[in-house]
Structure 1
């Protein structure tokens, strides 16, 4: 990426207006759109989006409310919508070939599901997702706590990259095999999109909801101009808020940060590199809040976390294989494989009885990192001391690394388990589990 590609301001970073869905059905329309991805004054880009924009509208409800969404497909190929991170009924998960049929051009499908957890989630296409998400079929989904935390601003920050020409055209080659065998489709232009696009004041307390919506890029992020704590990962509150440092987001991962504005100029979202740091986006700071008094940052109210029976947990291993510069498994049939198998097979990785716990060792036997995402559930990442750590739906496993996760499989259905580097998923890195 060139330096100018990062030097953008929030004047060019606008999302669609907020929309509350709890009270009435809502139409979500996938359609071609024109996006201002490059800075204002540069050429626009032909993309895909929802309801006339990319990212799509902010879908909001309160915890326990029901989303009632009629999806209409007005693009020239089949699609479907996955509600990433929500622990909902299997039939509403939005995975063609597993939970529903693909929704063809001109057709529609009604998604109706209760929002059991408060937190930061998102929605995106799950048909040809490596292309449709790259073209803009995604948006934020926010489930508010019954009593939200005391903040002056609740801001969504969606981080993305695009492979784009100076004329504003998205570069073709979404199924480039070289990309898929390496890190995936990495863009040459990146931005942090902030919604709502309004200034804050020095002394304000803000909630930042960071979401990595890129198809393949892992984003390290440094925040400037605030002092606060990380209060949630992947929508799930942390029992003890953590310091804001060493933020690293695999595709699909999220973090909620509650912080006080300390700068008189701006809150900056910075991409650190070996050379100069690059500004992905900023929130302008204007004026000062002289009424808010300093106070500690408490933990968010917890969502339900069923404690696993570790003594009787099923022990499984999921080994990532293939890719460039690695010896393929003898049984794999595509670029990537999990336990020697590429793509979905007739037999699941494991069949669980409802409520059964599993400790799964994620082994990355490749030269590239992978973000492993489980549908319909969250899981505990196991610390180096054996303790149960953050409760997540996507776990980043470095090249050559190993990570244990522990999950209580309590949501019935057939659930996808895959790398959320979507180019890797497209080239074989996916499997599934069955919960009866």
Structure 2
């Protein structure tokens, strides 16, 4: 005889099923909605943010090559608007030409310590590239053995968009056996660097990086005596701090009475303090832009953002005493002549405030009358990123890919408010442009115009920045703590009327972060 089910069991099961569906249904929907396709254009991600400016079509016009020098206007009606056509003059011969071969290999630092990672021309860091302002630089990249592909991004150099080196945005990653040639005019003197922008959170840390220095065409102070000029690229290899690939102190000869320019490059993911002991110094450039009227600094450190650069100038003592430039810790650059005995000193308690440092100077545009106003509000919340649950970064409240695409038109003045309520600091890096800092937490800048391409936005801080949209294309605007970028802290700046033929993922396996 069949047993009967207990009275009331069926309604209770129905309620349980309904409750489960009510809980899981939205989660499944959120999970499904977060999944990214195997191949997609960043232009289709998120939503258009016009910043209060006019809306325009982003559809390409008739195909045709676009050859532009930096800041040269290309009439939209005559251009193909394909970002891969935004190149330097193809008929102009290169002034600086070199080939860089990327490899995955075990390499040794000068100390003898060995690492498994990546090299450029057999070393890490890769070869320093030096040019003079106005020269055309040509770099042929060959991928000999880096699995997954490789690119080169010219950090801080406002190159034509096709040379920006971002996999899936401005080019395809260069696979094993492939090559790609970058060409750009070095039209700004200053300190820069280059690194891979394919799987950058892994490849940069593993060694695919190098220094790039652009000297002025002529020294305005040519009669002021000799200058010792040295780049100081700081990088950690599996926790080992190095300067230009050297562990410990790097000793540089500097005659008494000479001036020394130390070009500090922070390739790491966090803020790095730099300070000088043995003499006062001046901060003469930030992110490749000269400071106007730099005053002498004593007992203060300079905070160098991840990806950022700071040029420090010191005058060597007449008695030959050495000077130490500290780079995030006890090791660094020791400048000397007869002696290099300069013991480390603790970091100064005070940090130089670039909001007030230097002398004011007029800008070439009016940031008080912008054509576009954007908000870049950084937060954090739980959710799904490409199907993976976690606590992810947000832009304007949205998880990637639901983030803004900032639309601009060439020639416009752009103003952006960057705020950070995420609980962690973020070094924000806008490709292809330099922006001037207008204020921090509502306090206006009163010193030298503070131009940046890598800006540290601390916890709870809000910055107002401005720039002119004078370099057409499609540009990343992301956190240069590279794991953060891979965790969703990435947006893009897109010029109206320009498109990219490249996709993230796909057969090229493009993974920009």
| TM-score scaled by length of structure 2 | 0.66
Paired positions, count: 366
Quick check: 1:73 aligned with 2:132? Answer: no
Among 234, 249, 272, the residue aligned to 1:159 = 234
Q: CA separation in 2, counterparts of 1:241 and 1:120?
A: 17
Among 447, 462, 466, the residue aligned to 1:402 = 462
Query: How big is each residue's C-alpha offset from its partner over 1:71-108, in whole Å with a ceiling of 9 and x where there is no partner?
Result: 10122221111001111111110001111111111100
Q: CA separation in 2, counterparts of 1:226 and 1:341?
A: 48
Rate the CA distance shift 1:344–1:308 in 2: closer, same or farther, 3 A. farther
Deviation at 1:402, TM superposition (A): 0.9
Q: CA RMSD in A?
A: 2.9
Query: How big is each residue's C-alpha offset from its partner over 1:207-255, in whole Å with a ceiling of 9 and x where there is no partner?
Result: 11110011x1321122223433111100011122144433111211001
Q: Is the 8 A contact 2:270 2:481 kept in 1?
A: yes
Unaligned runs of 5+ in 1: 1-20, 164-186, 273-277, 289-299
**Any idea what SS the aligned residue of 1:349 has?**
strand
Structure number with greater CO (CA < 8 Å, separation at least 6) is 2
Among 393, 396, 410, the residue aligned to 2:453 = 393
Q: Is the 8 A contact 1:27 1:71 kept in 2?
A: yes
Q: Is the 8 A contact 1:83 1:124 kept in 2?
A: yes
Deviation at 1:46, TM superposition (A): 2.5
Unaligned runs of 5+ in 2: 1-92, 340-357, 497-513
Rate the CA distance shift 1:99–1:283 in 2: closer, same or farther, 3 A. same
Q: CA separation in 1, counterparts of 2:96 and 2:261?
A: 27
1:170-319 aligned at under 5 Å gives the runs 187=239, 189-193=240-244, 198-214=252-268, 216-244=269-297, 245-262=300-317, 264-270=320-326, 278-287=329-338, 306-319=364-377
Among 25, 33, 41, the residue aligned to 2:97 = 25
Q: CA separation in 1, counterparts of 2:273 and 2:445?
A: 26
Q: CA separation in 2, counterparts of 1:332 and 1:399?
A: 26
Quick check: 1:113 aligned with 2:216? Answer: no
Deviation at 1:271, TM superposition (A): 5.6
Q: Is the 8 A contact 2:149 2:198 kept in 1?
A: yes
| TM-score scaled by length of structure 1 | 0.77
Q: Is the 8 A contact 1:379 1:392 kept in 2?
A: yes
Q: Look at both structures and tell me which one has the larger radius of gyration over its CA atoms.
A: 2
Query: How big is each residue's C-alpha offset from its partner over 1:48-83, in whole Å with a ceiling of 9 and x where there is no partner?
Result: 121111111111111111011111012222111100
Compare the two structures and name the one with the higher strand fraction. Answer: 1
Q: CA separation in 2, counterparts of 1:87 and 1:248?
A: 23
Rate the CA distance shift 1:24–1:60 in 2: closer, same or farther, 3 A. closer
